[in-house]
């Protein structure tokens, strides 16, 4: 039996191997894995069906069933994702700065992998491949702890990963799957700070809290996305309606979906009824402050806890605020440092909002839904960090590495 300690020991050894693997060999592994998943689709889908049958028997919630489900389309996305990661530049060895200092030394900052990354996530088998692909390309070993309900799917996927690694002469220990859902085992893993360099929890509040409470390993956490849009009095209201509506409806359960709209009082009368009409027409339930409920009777009164709430559903809160300052104050109190947007044609208000709102991503006249590694040009993402340390916002390949100093001299002493 593999213990948490023996898994982490093997990963640590494998990390040394993958850290210096040439780019072409890493890319060949990723492309071969894409081809293999393509070819072995049947095997993956059979395992996934077994997981789904079991999940339905135990009455797993619909939203969770959806995330657990693999289809040929989802597999196609996974495979495309791997090919995209193979095509991205290798961050390892990248020279980020290079200068001569007065002592005559040449000082370079060079990217190196982090080492061993522990990824803890829910029953979403696509994350198994996505996380492996990114960690591997950035030269790291990974320990993948996926949700129990995806056990058979993940076991099949890791089998494919190991087959491919072996075919390329790379130690299978660069990707370990932890299948047990034993909390004691997870706690034991989270103590191994001398073997594991980073833990990335990706999932619900309870999961992130558990990791945060028990980890002695550094964490980059993806907490809640309580995203706000402020509609200023100078906004283009026609386009603001379209933008606000889709920011909720295009993916209501996504972390970058809008949860609340703050409307400048000067345009409330004009804007609120039309926004509520549009949203309710698309099946969105509105929780409004007293003025919103007066202007748009379709809205129901918001409860105090509806401000700062991640609805993860077709529900949206709307409040009228006196000005940009009041909007900033509301967000500072209720936001989650994920994504906030201002819709405004007033440069001074844009500047104030950008400066005072310190979320991982501030959008000026763009939807919160653009806070995503692909959309922002990182090429891929392993998650969106809402803590400021190490990475803030979408984490791509660079954020799975660190920079160290390489100094070259001519026998200088000091």
Site residues, a second copy (CB under 8 A): 16, 19-20, 99, 101, 103, 105, 107, 112, 114-115, 193, 197-198, 212-213, 216, 218-220, 236, 239-240, 242-243, 246-247, 250, 332, 343, 354-356, 358-367, 369-371, 375-377, 387-390, 392-394, 402-414
Helices (H), 41-90: 41-57, 62-68, 72-87
Name the E strands within 207-309. 227-231, 258-264, 285-288, 300-301
Name which of 280 and 402 has its Cβ closer to a second copy. 402
Instruction: Give the SS3 label for residue 121.
Output: strand
Nearer to a second copy, 306 or 372 (CB): 372
Q: What are phi and psi of 284, to 5 degrees?
A: -90, 135
Instruction: Report angle CA 352, 227, 363 to the nearest 5 degrees.
Output: 45
Assigned token pair, 147: 């949700």
Provide, rounded to whole angstroms, the least separation between the CB of residue 377 and a second copy.
5
Rounded CA-CA distance 393/400 in Å is 13
Report in angstroms the alpha-carbon separations of 44 from 50, 66, 125, 245.
10, 16, 10, 37
Question: Considering the complex, what minimum distance in angstroms separates the CB of residue 201 from a second copy?
Answer: 14
Work out how close the CB of 194 gets to a second copy at its nearest, in angstroms, rounded to a whole number.
Answer: 11
Tell me how far, at minimum, the Cβ of 177 lies from a second copy, in Å: 24
Cβ nearer to a second copy, comparing 161 with 352: 352
Task: Return the ∠ at Cα 148 (arms to 212 and 59), rounded to 5°.
Answer: 115
Beta carbon nearer to a second copy, 68 or 343: 343
In the complex, minimum distance from the CB of residue 304 to a second copy, in angstroms, rounded to a whole number: 19
Least Å distance between CB 29 and a second copy?
Answer: 20
Residue closer to a second copy (CB basis): 60 or 107? 107
> Nearest to residue 334, comparing CAs of 312, 306, 365?
306
Residue placing its CB nearer to a second copy in the complex, 154 or 360: 360
């Amino acid at each position: 039996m593999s213990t948490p300690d023996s898994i982490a020991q093997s990963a640590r050894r494998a990390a040394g191997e993958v850290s210096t693997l040439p780019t072409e060999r890493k890319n060949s592994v990723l492309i071969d894995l894409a081809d293999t998943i393509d070819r072995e689709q049947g095997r993956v889908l059979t395992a996934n069906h077994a997981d789904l049958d079991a999940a339905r028997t135990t009455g797993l919630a619909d939203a969770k069933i959806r995330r657990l489900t693999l289809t040929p389309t989802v597999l196609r996305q996974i495979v495309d994702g791997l090919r995209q990661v193979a095509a991205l530049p290798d961050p390892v060895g990248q020279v980020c700065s290079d200068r001569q200092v007065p002592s005559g030394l040449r000082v370079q900052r060079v990217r190196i992998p982090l080492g061993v990354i522990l990824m803890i996530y829910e029953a979403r088998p696509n994350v198994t491949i996505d996380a492996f692909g990114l960690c591997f390309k950035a030269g790291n070993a990974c320990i993948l702890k996926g949700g129990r309900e995806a056990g058979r799917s993940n076991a099949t996927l890791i089998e494919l990963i190991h087959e491919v690694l072996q075919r390329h002469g790379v130690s299978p220990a660069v990707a370990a799957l932890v299948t047990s859902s034993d909390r004691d085992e997870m706690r034991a893993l989270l103590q191994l700070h001398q073997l594991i360099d980073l833990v990335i929890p990706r999932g619900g509040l309870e999961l992130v809290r558990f990791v945060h409470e028990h980890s002695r390993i550094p964490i980059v956490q993806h907490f809640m996305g309580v995203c706000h849009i402020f509609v200023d009095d100078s906004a283009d209201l026609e386009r603001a309606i379209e933008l606000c509506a889709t920011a909720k409806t295009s993916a209501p359960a996504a972390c970058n979906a809008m949860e609340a709209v703050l409307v400048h009082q000067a345009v409330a009368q004009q804007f609120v009824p039309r926004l509520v009409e549009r949203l309710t027409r698309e099946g969105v339930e509105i929780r409004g402050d007293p003025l919103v409920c007066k202007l748009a009777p379709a809205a129901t009164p918001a409860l105090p806890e509806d401000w700062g709430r991640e609805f993860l559903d077709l529900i949206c809160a709307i409040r009228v605020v006196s000005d940009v300052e009041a909007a900033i104050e509301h967000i500072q109190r209720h936001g989650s440092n994920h994504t906030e947007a201002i819709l405004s044609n007033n440069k001074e208000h844009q500047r104030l909002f950008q400066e005072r709102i310190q979320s991982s991503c501030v959008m000026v006249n763009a939807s919160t839904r653009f806070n995503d590694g692909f959309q922002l040009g990182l090429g891929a993402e392993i998650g969106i960090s809402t803590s400021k340390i190490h990475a803030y916002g979408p984490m791509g390949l660079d954020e799975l590495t660190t920079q160290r100093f390489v100094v070259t001299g001519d026998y200088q002493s000091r």
